[in-house]
Amino acid sequence: MVADLEVWALTGDEALRSALNDPRFRRNWRSWRALGEGEVPENHPVRAMVHLDNMLTSDGAEHRRLRGLISRAFTPRRIEALRPVVEKTARELIDALAERPEGEPVDVKEELAYPLSVAVFAALFGFDPSHHDRMRAMVATAFSQGTSEEVAALRADVDAFVDELVSAKRTEPGEDMTSVLVTANEDGDRLSDVELRDTLWLMITAGFETTASAVANGVQVLLAHPEQLALLREGKAEWATAVEEVLRHSTSVAALPFLFAVEDVEIGGVTVAKGEPLLLGYLAANLDEERYGDSAERFDLTEDRPRNLGLGHGPHTCLGASLARMELETALRGLFTRFPRAAVDDDDPAEMPSVFINSPLALPVRLGTPAS
């Protein structure tokens, strides 16, 4: 059940990978029978997530067109140019944590994960720092199971926010990705106003909540497995390996909506009727014993794991995957190098109230004496 909608969920790795590459399933919300027949309320929270025209909700040639235009903003050179921003921001945030009174719990999600992710995202897209709190509030509503009134207010706020941003970049373009998207042109093709607005909203929702939650999850799972953290500190495991295991074992993206069947399809032991939605269960698939063996549910840096689904698969693989990995490795390495005695303050923190995001609401940690 997803916010009062009955849907099938794909939770096995093989079935999910297969569906993501199967032309009998579409991303486009126009293939959703219940939506077309008026069975989904206008301001239903999940409707607000899928009733968009961007590369996540498109297929085939249209998806290739949109991704081609947008990928010009995600070149390896542009992403690598952000490394100094990532490293400087993480260092400053960790330095600030070192000034806190020793023994006082610190919410690592609030004081490291969020400000790092938002600052990098703002630098990438040219958002003014004054908009950080507004962006966070909008994304929190989008990923929660809000009321119809909250969803309607969110949609109005998103439209106003993106329109303000686009207008500013058209008047005074810069080197940021928003400016690139505003002027993106390939063989005379541009993003329409609707595509531009919905693409920027996709970038906002995908751009920092998922990364901030991944950083929090990485801190949480490493503190819960001190023997694995010791391997990293002793140089017996690589931080890049830890990043991949965090993305697999503790992915921040629990699930995403939807794939829609364009004909009756048998998959994962069930028949999905034409027009019905499939929820994409990434977290469950990443813990699938048929792919990862008996140790699937164990966080273990010594296992030789096959590629996980933490950043997607197939045509819709995350465009910002390399940036997410960069932020995650920089934050985890920096925090645990500076605070070798860090310990979790709450073994069972409350989870975010979301079907889609897997992460604690807050992560209080006792950092201990910082290393010099």
Residues 6+ apart with CB under 8 A from 32: 40, 50, 258, 260, 275, 277
Residue pair 142/48 in contact (Cβ under 8 Å)? The answer is: yes
Distance separating alpha carbons of residues 91 and 338, to the nearest angstrom:
10
Span 185-199, pLDDT tens digits: 655 677 888 888 888
Distance separating alpha carbons of residues 205 and 192, to the nearest angstrom:
20
Is the pLDDT higher at 296 or at 205?
A: 296
For residue 155, give its domain range: 8-366
Mean pLDDT of all residues belonging to the chain: 90
Considering the domain boundaries, does residue 1 fall inside one? no
Main-chain phi, psi angles of 229, to 5 degrees: -65, -35
Is the pLDDT higher at 114 or at 8?
A: 114
Question: What 3-state class would DSSP assign to 314?
Answer: helix
Distance separating alpha carbons of residues 272 and 86, to the nearest angstrom:
43
Ramachandran quadrant class, 332 (left: phi over 0; alpha: psi -120 to 50; beta: rest):
alpha
Span 224-251, pLDDT tens digits: 999 999 999 999 999 999 999 999 999 9
Distance separating alpha carbons of residues 6 and 366, to the nearest angstrom:
42
Structural domain count, the chain: 1
Is the pLDDT higher at 151 or at 90?
A: 90
Instruction: List the alpha helices (DSSP H) in the chain.
Output: 13-20, 33-36, 45-50, 60-71, 76-80, 83-98, 108, 114-125, 132-143, 148-171, 177-183, 193-207, 209-224, 226-233, 239-249, 282-286, 289-292, 321-338
Residues 6+ apart with CB under 8 A from 57: 27, 28, 29, 50, 198
Largest CA distance in the chain: 64
Indicate whether 91 pLDDT > 80.
Answer: yes
Question: What 3-state class would DSSP assign to 25?
Answer: strand
> Residue 260 forms beta bridges with which residues?
26, 277
Span 352-370, pLDDT tens digits: 988 899 999 999 999 999 9
Considering the domain boundaries, does residue 2 fall inside one? no
Residues 319-341: what's their mean pLDDT? 96
Considering the domain boundaries, does residue 134 fall inside one? yes
* Confidence at 349, pLDDT banded by 50, 70, 90: very high
DSSP state of 187: T
The domain spanning residue 252 has which CATH number? 1.10.630.10
| Cα–Cα nearest to 213, from 349, 71, 16, 366 | 349
* Confidence at 331, pLDDT banded by 50, 70, 90: very high
Spatial strand order of the sheet with 8-10 comes to: 8-10, 277-280, 256-261, 25-26
Question: Which strand (E) or helix (H) includes residue 39?
Answer: none
| Residue 242 pLDDT | 98
| Residue 301 pLDDT | 98
Considering the domain boundaries, does residue 27 fall inside one? yes
Indicate whether 15 pLDDT > 60.
Answer: yes
Residue pair 21/252 in contact (Cβ under 8 Å)? The answer is: no
Indicate whether 1 pLDDT > 60.
Answer: no
Question: What 3-state class would DSSP assign to 267?
Answer: strand
